[in-house]
Amino acid sequence: MSAELLKLSYFPDDGRIWRVEWVYDIQYNLAVPSESVFVALIAPFTIDTQKEYESGAHDKNRQFYMVGDIDKSQALEILVGVGQSPLIDIGSLWKNGLLINSNVGTKETFDLVIDDAHVQYHPGYHKYELNNEEFYAFPYGKQLMEKKGRVVNCAYVQYKDDPYHFIIPAHVLINFYLCTSTSLAHAVYDGSIINERTTKI
């Protein structure tokens, strides 16, 4: 079954279009101990933005990723099972629990150097100093998130002379290592591993 046809009950079933703003905070799942959950911060499109998106009459360069496209006062935190984490991309759009757009951002290719000299790991609230002034590496107001969302560890990837050009939540990086192995998922999220001769990871 394709991702577009998979209905997730975590999302509101209210006819509105919801955009995923941020992901963070992996938690133990009391309901299903074998599957941890993470927090996804979602926010609905404004009425006008939803009408514009659904009409299809907008300019082809309109990407629907601006802060003004959402109603920040209606933002919600939802708990999502880690098994669905590959579907929950920041910037993805959902309506009635169905994925309608995997990412509203633009797609570009960058030449990056991925090594210890060009990648740093800090919390989302990391500050750096430039010309005797302190700045947040992740500027407030650029991304909707709750305060605790800034506690999440992130990878900061340098591009050209900007050491904080790309900011990737650790949870998103983990998705690249999730295979079809349940044992691997348990090891990554819970720190548990079964040491048996028949165990394959």
What's the confidence (pLDDT) of residue 124? 78
- Is there a domain that residue 196 lies in? no
Model confidence pLDDT, tens digit, residues 75-132: 999 999 887 877 888 889 999 999 999 878 777 889 999 899 999 998 877 888 888 8
- Is there a domain that residue 115 lies in? no
Model confidence pLDDT, tens digit, residues 166-176: 888 877 777 66
Count up the domains in the chain and report the number: 1
Instruction: Give CA–CA dist 37/67, Å, rounded.
Output: 26
- Is there a domain that residue 77 lies in? yes
If one compares 124 and 157, the residue with the highest pLDDT of the two is 157
Instruction: Give CA–CA dist 12/44, Å, rounded.
Output: 10
Model confidence pLDDT, tens digit, residues 26-67: 788 888 877 888 889 999 999 999 999 999 887 777 888 888
- Is there a domain that residue 97 lies in? yes
Domain around 50:
3-107
Give how far the C-alpha of residue 31 lies from the chain's centroid of Cα atoms, to the nearest Å: 23
pLDDT at 156 over 80: yes
- Is there a domain that residue 166 lies in? no
pTM for the full predicted model: 0.69
What's the confidence (pLDDT) of residue 2? 45
- Is there a domain that residue 80 lies in? yes
Closest CA to 41 of 27, 24, 22: 22
Whether 31 and 63 have beta carbons less than 8 Å apart is answered as no
- Is there a domain that residue 167 lies in? no
What's the confidence (pLDDT) of residue 25? 78
What's the confidence (pLDDT) of residue 3? 46
Strands 37-44 vs 76-81: parallel, antiparallel or unpaired: antiparallel
Average pLDDT, the chain: 80
Residues pairing with 159 in the sheet: 162
